[in-house]
Structure 1
Amino acid sequence: MDMPHRIDSPRIAPLEPSEWAPKLHEQLLGNRPAEMGGAAAPVFNIFKTLANHPRLAGQFGRWGNQILFRSSLSARDRELAILRVGWLCRATYEWHHHVAIARDHAGMSEADIELARVGPTDGGSADDVLLRAVDELVGDHFVSAATWALLAERYQQVQLIDLVFVVGQYVMVSMALNSFGVQLEPEYR
């Protein structure tokens, strides 16, 4: 599942954490749960790049933590949606990082990851409906009535809200990663 970067070098140079204000460390990194490496985990290039805009980066950190770590969706459903967004947006960085999260923290198999890449079929499985909703949101910025009805059979209202915001967040992140030329760390290639 090779997905080449669109840009071979960063358009915005990443800043090393030693160059960050202490408050930014807490805002971007301090709220990660222990199972995701906590604040002591490696500092990824996305954060190093966003550190060029401290005010935005701090708000992004809070919002991103809400979407990724406090979603009412199951970890598997959240990661299936995020992976689909990453694939559709051709966001190499997003795809590879979330493949690792899917395997290590959401219990997803290689078949699950391949499902995210391939996308929905004509089947009516729960995964197919979820993937169809992601495709509709990315392609049309709207969930059709038929797909919404099927989602509503499976998800509570708060989960439906979280699904739309997860997709929207990761479309935005994918646009930023692709446009800024955020490079994938060697261990994720």
Structure 2
Amino acid sequence: MRLSTPRIPPATPEEMGEEAMSLLGLLSAKSGRVDNIFATLARHPVFLKNFLVFGSHVLMTSTLPPRDREILILRIGWLCKAEYEWGQHVEIGRRIGLSDEEIVRITAGADAPGWSELEAALIRATDELHGDAFIQDATWHILSRHYDARQLIDLVFTVGQYNMVSMALNTFGVQLDERLSGFPETP
């Protein structure tokens, strides 16, 4: 973790207003817990409410296949050195079928052996968006052979959403939830 203590600590139930408690009640009802990211954002209930709308689209109703979405999110979390984001999406990635080997391979990049053409293009697109805020023509050409316009839009906004979230998590010092592991040991 970049910070060992939060700059903005997660709000306790006593510190949360009624609106935040209501929003977080919906989240905790689904999972049985309130993660540190949401308890931190509860300090700004209006933002939290709007963030959940966009974040829910990217995570739950995006047109991208879940596996592809998680490759994008894990790669941008890795590039942003966002250990909290990485830990959350390792858990989600495993749930949707990514192997531990594939998860670690995401850290090695698009040229690591074992990726399909599309998977390599997903990782390359993430690298290009992160580095230059633009997907190069060669990468776009591969992606557009596999995805329709809605999926291409969702791809860019998935990387953008999790780039922004990574910036916030790193800067606020959101600490790993107890169940999450951090970054893997890489060669």
CA 1:70 to 1:124, structure 2 compared with 1: closer, same or farther past 3 Å?
A: closer
Report matched runs for 1:10-89 at 5 Å. 10-28=6-24, 30=26, 39-89=30-80
Cα drift, residue 20 of structure 1: 2.4
Mapped to 1, the partners of 2:97 and 2:13 lie a distance apart of: 31
**Cα offsets for 1:52-99 (capped at 9, x unmatched):** 111111111111111111110011000000000000000000001100
Q: Which residue of 1 aligns with 2:81?
A: 90
Structure 1 gaps, min length 5? none
Q: Judging changes above 3 Å, is the alpha-carbon distance between structure 1 residues 124 and 100 closer, same or farther for their aligned structure 2 residues?
A: closer
The amino acid that maps onto 1:11 is R
For 1:111, the equivalent position in structure 2 comes to: 101
Match of 1:154 in 2: 146
Q: Which amino acid aligns with 2:145?
A: E
1:7 aligns with 2:10: no
Q: Normalising to structure 1: TM-score of the pair?
A: 0.88
Give 1:160 deviation, angstroms. 0.3
Q: 1:177 deviation in Å?
A: 0.2
User: Does 1:175 pair with 2:171?
Assistant: no
Using the alignment, how far apart are the partners of 1:154 and 1:41 within structure 2? 37
Q: Does 1:166 align with 2:162?
A: no
CA RMSD of aligned residues (A): 1.8
SS at match of 2:179: helix
Partner of 1:132: 124
TM-score norm. by structure 2 comes to: 0.89
Contact 1:27 1:59 in 2 (8 A): no
CA distance in 2, matches of 1:40, 1:120: 33
The CA deviation at 1:38 is 5.1
Give 5+ residue unaligned stretches, structure 2. 182-187
| Alpha-carbon spacing, 1:46–1:150, altered in 2? closer, same or farther (3 Å) | same
Letter of the 1:80 partner, please give it. I
1-structure distance, mates of 2:177, 2:143: 36
Cα gap change, 1:150 to 1:99, in 2 (>3 Å): same
Superposed displacement of residue 28, structure 1? 4.9
Taking the aligned partners of 1:40 and 1:18, their CA distance within structure 2 comes to 21
- Identity in percent: 46
